[in-house]
Amino acid sequence: MEVQLTVSGADTVDQVASLFSWLTDEPGLRGRVRIVEPVRAEDDLGALSDTLMVLLGSGGVGAALASALRAWLQRRSVDVTITLKSKEKSIQVRADRAKDAESTLRQLRQFLDEADGE
């Protein structure tokens, strides 16, 4: 099962690059994260992606992703929102809401557990 993470807010391009780097540095997520190439019009000079895909699976990948996202969001100094989407559900988490670390972690884990079961 894959989960799509879309970043929105200030400095989106830099934030996507930061999140990608953060997630790929996590031992439990290595090889499971990729940048989604945006769909481009023929005359488009090249839009930059605001989306990552993460392959969930066994071995605590969902828990590792939830913890990594919480930690990354807590370190943001700009307004940023991550929308996580699975086949049937979605959730939004904002950096300012990540200050309540336990609540954020609980929300992310619940969403990822449900997404992994789809």
pLDDT for 45 equals 52
Taking only the tens place, the pLDDT of each residue in 38-81 is 655 555 554 567 889 999 887 788 889 999 998 898 888 888 88
Instruction: Please give the structure tokens belonging to residue 98.
Output: 């990540």
Long-range contacts of 35-42 (CB under 8 A, 24+ apart): 36/4
pLDDT for 103 equals 80
pTM of the model: 0.82
